[in-house]
Structure 1
């Protein structure tokens, strides 16, 4: 079994997330995906909730 290195795994997840964000989805799923991307970029939950207008 070829296990990906943590950095390679993270890059793969980022690519999948970007594809998901670009796909057609409802607003709740879009905000959820954006929140995940922002979390991966290091933003705090408090900051993300203010930007996206969610709790």
Structure 2
């Protein structure tokens, strides 16, 4: 099993990734804000082509 790598994603880093990989889009979310304490963190994984 491949060991996971944790990355901090910012708007500029996402824009860079989007430009390099020619994927991803901007989108608008219209919603009321609900702050909720989670029992454990949510982990997102992004797989790059060829890895």
> What's the TM-score, normalizing by structure 1?
0.26
Higher relative contact order (CA 8 A, sep 6+): 1
> What's the TM-score, normalizing by structure 2?
0.28
Instruction: Flag the structure with higher helix content.
Output: 1
